[in-house]
Amino acid sequence: MTESLLEVKGLAVGYARKGLALEDVSLSVPKGSIVALLGANGAGKTTLIRAITGLLELHHGHVTQGIVAYDGQPILGLPAHRLVRLGMAQVPEGRLIFKQLTVEENLNVGAAIIARSAARERMDAVYQLFPKLLERRGQAAGWLSGGEQQMLALGRALVSGPRLLLVDELSLGLAPLIVQTIYKQLRVVGDTLGTAMLVVEQNARLALEFAATAFVLDRGRIVLSGTAAEVASSAVMQESYLGAKRKEVVQ
């Protein structure tokens, strides 16, 4: 059995005045594996990422029950900067880059937790992964295209050398060709560095092509899980997320 790097067990999360956003959620991300977290808007995907990464309280949320463990150690309640030092990095929905800073200054923010001697090598690796960033290294990030900003958000996370990368809605607002290019480079990261990933996506078809296993959230609960092939072939996924039509019964 493959050892889990991230383990979520029986997690329930609520927000003030809104009730439970997650209820009895359990999932795992094996070491070196790519896992997709799928679901419609409002299913609870971003809430789960916030709970894992220590950012839930910033959004007035609270865990009511459950366990989140990273590399076998409980991490609920640890601040985000501690989790980054443990080897966890996040690419948030909406990218949230520092638009007034240059591309290289944004990458330096991501490299702040590592030794200066290693930072240059890591930044060069990011530039090799995303050559467009190298071309624009001295340019203010706010002037980048949407695809380039997403590359920068990924590069800022990767420059710290994470063991676990959490990516929230990578494809949102981007042209399909750009999304395919970015996912192709993420595949390189997984294959060459062994970085485990939890990828949150509304684009189920794309995510299931990329990931090894998948979990589907619906109204705060996991309703489907398995290998990517199993999830993709399920009737629920075909009808609700992949656009297949239910066959009519001929009387």
Take residue 185 and report the two structure tokens written for it.
């480079």
- How many Cα neighbours within 13 Å face the side chain of 163? 13
CB neighbour list of residue 89: distance below 8 Å, 6 or more residues apart: 110, 157, 158, 160, 162, 164, 165, 166
209-to-41, 183, 187, 199, 205 alpha-carbon distances in Å: 21, 10, 11, 12, 6
Domains recognised in the chain with CATH numbers: 1-87+164-243 (3.40.50.300), 89-161 (no CATH)
Judged against a pLDDT cut of 90, whether residue 149 lies above it is answered with yes
Of the given ranges (42-51, 147-156, 236-245), which has the lowest mean pLDDT?
236-245
- What's the pLDDT tens digit per position in 209-230? 999 999 999 999 999 999 999 9
Q: Is 25 left (phi over 0), alpha (psi -120 to 50) or beta?
A: beta
pTM for this structure? 0.88
How many other C-beta atoms can be found within 10 angstroms of the C-beta atom of residue 176?
A: 10
Of the given ranges (38-52, 85-99, 155-169), which has the lowest mean pLDDT?
85-99
> Bigger pLDDT: 81 or 101?
101
Whether the Cβ atoms of residue 60 and residue 2 lie closer than 8 Å to each other: no
Query: What value does the mean pLDDT take over residues 41-64?
Result: 91
